[in-house]
């Protein structure tokens, strides 16, 4: 029994020793693992801090990207509105130019009576509409073409030709002879000039020839003592040299005012100035001169010419233009009374763009604690 007890005590002591040595090993292993866990925890905290910093920077970048996206959307809406406004503005500009051209044509026809300028204005408006090639302008183009054809077939006044004829009369005024400066007819000289020696007569001087010549001279002197004139005609007006100059200048002024009346399409003033000029020429100038007679005939022919001709007005083009403007106003009318001004969208887009540009310059907020970033960052 003692041996058995001793063996049991030894076995128990050995087991206690084994347990103690195992506990020591376990304690050392636990200490090593705790040290490793502490180092791993420190590393995990460092990596978590780095992740928080990276998450904070990513949040700043995401905010800037969201601002850029909002600015891009605003710019896209603003560009869309601007494009629509630009398309409408271009049509409005074309319509306004056409309206101005038609107004100029109507003014030239009604006020100045200048069909050439009116025709040029209408043709320019039609050419601009043809360059656009829009379906909405077809009715206006047809009206313009009809007005142009009607204006081309209307009777025209040869203003340049009449002005050239007046210019020729102006140049001829200084060469026209006055009535009091004309020489009287000498019937005796005409008879002497018409008389000729008979054929076969002798050219030798003789007493008979001398007596005949002496008698002819005496008779010629007697004829100069008596002058026969018609009393039913007025005597030519005697004018001083200065008055003659004033007469010619006044005659030129009358012709110049007649030309101005021609350019202004004032037929009454044109005819009155020409009639006054014709009366002065008949009274103060020598009507026996061919140049004076030609001038009087030219003045009479010019008075018979029509200066102002009634021209057709572009009423059809005006009607088509008013109809096009009414349709444009109806198409721009807002639906359900909710207008969408383009200025607000453009200003909003401009404001969003400014915010987007200035967003990256704002400093990032400090990183929140780790416990606040877990689910929120993942969901972000």
Nearest one of 22, 21, 24, 16 to 8, comparing CA atoms: 16
- Inform me whether the pLDDT recorded for 224 exceeds 60: yes
pLDDT tens profile 359-379 = 333 334 344 444 444 434 334
Is pTM, for the whole model, over 0.75? no
> Higher model confidence: residue 90 or residue 2?
2
Q: What is the pLDDT of residues 182-223, one digit of tens each?
A: 544 444 444 444 444 444 444 455 788 889 988 988 888 888
Which pair of structure tokens corresponds to residue 320?
A: 């088509």
* 21's tokens: 């040595």
- In whole angstroms, what is the distance from residue 247 CA to residue 293 CA? 18
Q: Is the pLDDT of residue 256 over 90?
A: yes
Q: Is a pLDDT exceeding 90 seen at residue 257?
A: yes
pLDDT in tens, 324-351: 888 777 766 654 444 444 444 344 444 4
| CA distances in angstroms from 13 to 3, 22, 164, listed in the order given | 15, 14, 153
Q: Is 26 helix (H, G, I), strand (E, B) or coil?
A: helix
The pLDDT of 14-31, averaged and rounded, is 86
In sequence order, what are the residues at sequence separation of 6 or more whose Cβ sits closer than 8 angstroms to the Cβ of residue 148? 119, 122, 123, 126
- Residue 285 dihedral angles phi and psi, to the nearest 5°: -115, 160
Q: What integer best gives the mean pLDDT of the chain?
A: 76
Q: For residues 226 and 152, what is the distance between their CA atoms, to the nearest angstrom?
A: 67
pLDDT at residue 255, as a whole number:
92
Q: Rounded to whole angstroms, how far apart are CA atoms 298 and 165?
A: 8
- The 10s digit of each residue's pLDDT in 126-158 is 888 888 777 778 888 888 888 888 888 877 777
């Amino acid at each position: 029994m003692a041996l058995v007890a001793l063996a049991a005590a030894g076995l128990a002591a050995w087991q206690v020793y084994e347990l103690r040595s195992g506990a020591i090993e376990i304690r050392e292993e636990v200490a090593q693992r705790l040290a490793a866990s502490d180092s791993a925890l420190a590393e995990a905290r460092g990596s978590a801090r780095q992740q928080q910093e990276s998450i904070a920077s990513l949040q700043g970048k995401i905010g800037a990207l969201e601002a850029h996206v909002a600015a891009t959307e605003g710019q896209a809406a603003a560009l869309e509105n601007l494009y629509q406004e630009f398309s409408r503005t271009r049509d409005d500009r074309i319509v306004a130019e056409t309206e101005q051209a038609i107004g100029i044509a109507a003014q030239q026809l009604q006020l100045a009576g200048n069909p050439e300028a009116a025709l040029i204005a209408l043709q320019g408006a039609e050419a601009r509409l043809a360059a656009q090639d829009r379906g909405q302008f077809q009715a206006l183009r047809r009206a313009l073409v009809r007005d142009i054809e009607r204006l081309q077939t209307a009777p025209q006044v040869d203003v340049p030709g009449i002005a050239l004829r007046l210019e020729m009369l102006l140049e001829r005024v200084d060469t026209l002879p006055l009535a009091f400066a004309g020489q009287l007819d000498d019937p005796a000289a005409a008879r002497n000039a018409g008389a000729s020696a008979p054929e076969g007569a002798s050219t030798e001087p003789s007493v008979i020839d001398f007596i005949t010549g002496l008698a002819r001279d005496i008779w010629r002197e007697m004829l100069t003592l008596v002058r026969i004139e018609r009393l039913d005609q007025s005597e030519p007006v005697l004018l001083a040299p200065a008055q003659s100059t004033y007469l010619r200048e006044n005659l030129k002024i009358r012709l110049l005012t007649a030309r101005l009346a021609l350019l202004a399409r004032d037929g009454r003033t044109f005819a009155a100035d020409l009639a006054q000029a014709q009366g002065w020429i008949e009274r103060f100038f020598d009507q026996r001169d061919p140049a004076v007679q030609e001038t009087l005939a030219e003045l009479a022919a010019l008075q018979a010419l029509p200066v102002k001709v009634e021209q057709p007005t572009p009423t059809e083009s005006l009607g088509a233009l008013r109809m096009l403007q009414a349709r444009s106003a109806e198409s721009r009318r807002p639906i359900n009374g909710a207008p969408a001004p383009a200025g607000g969208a453009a200003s909003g887009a401009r404001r969003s763009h400014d915010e987007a540009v200035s967003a990256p310059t704002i400093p990032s907020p400090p990183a929140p604690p780790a416990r606040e970033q877990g689910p929120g960052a993942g969901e972000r």
